[in-house]
């Protein structure tokens, strides 16, 4: 039977099934391309970053930065780009990035779940509508005659929608389970790579201000504080005293410091 004839005999339920099948195929092909790239490149990226981290953290950061188009590259680059290094911050960066990347890998699963649930129901609906149409045209007087053979043929054709719905649902379910197994495997890969990178960090911690630091211009206040004024000039001893300098008064004689009564006693 031709596919076009199959589609026409399936009834009105074949149109929503066609939409669901196109949606499912688009998600399947997009996910297959993603997982093909991930599974063929992530092992090499992990090995290169971990080997470089044991010797030079700056090289490990550069390798991870070049691989940020891959989920594993973004996962390893997240803690290496931090300016502040301590074990808690390092682990927090790994955990938060892993959660985001795993969530991105699950993209499209909800649509596949919807296709898996709706396709059999739409196929069953098409079958029920076909049976109603076929049985509604049966006459009691036509039973056992040649005119009743068309009714049986219509009942058989009405089951086409059910078969089509099951085909779409079964294919979507197979790829849905396959993608879920890939996600579970990626969780294990992320945990292993993150633990090994953190272990290297604890064994060979990077030197301060060597990774993830950028040279920034000083602020105006720092420039003002760093400005040095010229040294004070010293005047020679014989130089003329300026008018704003205070002149010390001459020494007062001993008699001027005495009380007036004491002066009279001295005179007497």
- Using one digit for the tens of pLDDT, what is the confidence trace for 212-237? 544 343 443 444 344 343 444 443 44
Q: Is residue 16 situated within a structural domain?
A: yes
**Are 108 and 74 spatial neighbours (Cβ–Cβ below 8 Å)?**
no
Q: Contact at 8 Å (CB) between 75 and 190?
A: yes
C-beta of residue 154 within 8 angstroms of C-beta of residue 133: yes
Does residue 59 fall inside a structural domain?
yes
For 195-212, the pLDDT digits (tens) are 999 999 988 887 765 455
221 part of a folded domain: no
Residue reference for tokens 């030079």: 56
DSSP secondary structure string for all residues of 1-19: --HHHHHHHT-TTHHHHHH
Residue 188 in any domain: the answer is yes
CA dihedral 177, 98, 192, 105 (to 10 degrees): 20
Q: Is the residue at 80 inside a domain?
A: yes
Q: What is the distance between the alpha carbons of residues 77 and 57, in angstroms, rounded to a whole number?
A: 11
Is pLDDT at 49 greater than 80 in this prediction? yes
**Domain contains 261:** no
Per the domain annotation, does 3 fall within a domain? Answer: no
Print the domain residue range for 172.
Answer: 10-139+146-203
Predicted confidence (pLDDT) at residue 247 exceeds the cutoff of 60: no
**Could you report the per-residue pLDDT of 112-142, keeping only the tens digit for each?**
999 999 999 999 998 888 888 777 666 655 5
State yes or no: pLDDT of 239 exceeds 50: no
Q: How many domains does the chain have?
A: 1
Within a domain: residue 212?
no
Report whether 49 contacts 68 (CB < 8 A).
no
Write down the pLDDT at residue 148. Answer: 53
């Amino acid at each position: 039977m031709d596919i076009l004839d199959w589609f026409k005999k399936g009834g009105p339920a074949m149109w929503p099934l066609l939409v669901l099948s196109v949606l499912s195929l688009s998600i399947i092909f997009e996910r297959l391309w993603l997982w093909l790239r991930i599974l063929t490149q992530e092992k090499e990226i992990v090995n290169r970053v971990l080997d470089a981290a044991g010797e030079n953290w700056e090289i490990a950061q550069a390798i991870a930065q070049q691989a940020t188009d891959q989920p594993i590259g973004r996962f390893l680059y997240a803690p290496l780009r931090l300016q502040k290094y301590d074990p808690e911050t390092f682990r927090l960066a790994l955990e938060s990035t892993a959660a985001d990347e795993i969530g991105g890998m699950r993209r499209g699963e909800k649509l596949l779940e919807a296709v898996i649930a709706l396709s059999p129901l739409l196929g069953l609906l098409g079958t029920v509508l076909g049976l109603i149409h076929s049985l509604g045209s049966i006459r009691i007087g036509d039973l056992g005659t040649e005119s009743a053979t068309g009714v049986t043929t219509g009942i058989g054709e009405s089951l086409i929608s059910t078969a089509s719905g099951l085909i779409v649902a079964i294919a979507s379910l197979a790829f849905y389970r396959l993608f879920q197994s890939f996600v579970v495997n990626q969780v294990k890969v992320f945990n292993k790579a993150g633990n090994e990178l953190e272990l290297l960090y604890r064994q060979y911690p990077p030197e301060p201000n060597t990774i993830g630091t950028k040279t920034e211009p000083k602020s105006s206040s720092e420039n003002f504080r760093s400005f040095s004024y010229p040294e004070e000039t010293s005047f020679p001893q014989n130089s003329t005293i300026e008018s704003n300098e205070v002149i010390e008064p001459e020494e007062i004689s001993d008699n001027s410091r005495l009380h007036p009564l004491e002066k009279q006693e001295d005179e007497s």
